[in-house]
Amino acid sequence: MAPTLTTAYLVADECADTSGRPRAGTWVNSAFNAGASGGTALTGLTVDLLPLWCCFVVATLPAALSGVAVLARTPLLRAEEGGRWQPLSFR
């Protein structure tokens, strides 16, 4: 989370002119706080409405789907003579 937030502050700082930099940083901070507050409220509702095992499934889904997306986009590799790795071709 920290690298993403740092990058957001740096991008906002680069995109704003000198007089607007404090305001740009404030927008990044406000957006982060709004997202954290909304996520906390949604978590409270989820824990209150769903059984505990469902909450664990819901909490696991973003990480699992991200892993599946990465694996789906990563080409399968095979070792070639000389120790180099080459993508597999399925022709």
Q: How high is the pLDDT of residue 73?
A: 75
Q: How high is the pLDDT of residue 78?
A: 59
Rounded-to-10 torsion of CA 15, 19, 24, 26: 160
Q: Is the pLDDT of residue 83 over 60?
A: yes
pTM of the model: 0.56
d(CA 52, CA 46): 9
Q: How high is the pLDDT of residue 2?
A: 86
